[in-house]
Amino acid sequence: MIAKKEITKVNPGINHCCHHCDHCSQIFPPKWLIELLLASQCKQEKVLKTDLLQYNAVSDGKKFIYTDSDEELDYGKTGILDPKEVSFYNLFINGVLQPATLYTVSKGVLALNCSEPPIAGAVIILQFVKVIG
């Protein structure tokens, strides 16, 4: 909640939302703004470091289950990690982020929970993110 602003007459007929120093005629920002700025300076925003890994496969147009053996090794050998060992994961099919309700992940297995498999040649990327601090 923002504190009520003080209105001080500095010049006749002009309302100012700030404090006025009678000693030097200096106009100051309102107290609530000063407190807000000081509080934000005290906050040390820290960027968290992450490890980003990904499993890559290509759909054959028939499968709903993908395993470590389906990985495209040209892009690395990550395998399908245990979801308990990562902070979060995302599935992309042909570059489109999939809702979590359409797939399940367990160590070494990606299961698609949809009525039709991805079209043949569709790129499947399972992205794993580990927040390390």
One digit per residue, the tens of pLDDT, for the chain of length 133 reads 444 444 444 444 444 444 455 555 555 667 776 777 777 666 666 777 889 999 999 999 999 999 999 999 988 899 999 999 999 999 999 999 999 999 999 999 999 999 999 999 999 999 999 988 6
Tell whether pTM > 0.85: no
**pLDDT for the residue numbered 79:** 95
Token pair belonging to 47: 């960027």
What pLDDT, on a 0 to 100 scale, did the predictor assign at position 87? 92
Q: What is the pLDDT of residue 31?
A: 77
**How would you class 14 by CB atoms within 10 Å of its CB: exposed for 0-12, middle for 13-18, buried for 19 or more?**
exposed
Cβ 89 vs Cβ 126: under 8 Å: yes
In what helix (H) or strand (E) does residue 33 lie, and over which residues does it extend?
helix 31-42
Q: How far apart are CA 116 and CA 131, in angstroms?
A: 33
Position 9 scores a pLDDT of: 46
Could you tell me if 7 and 19 are in contact, meaning their C-beta atoms sit under 8 angstroms apart?
no
Q: How many helices (H) and strands (E) does the chain have?
A: 1, 11
Give the pLDDT confidence score for residue 29 in this predicted structure. 65
At residue 26, the pLDDT reads: 52
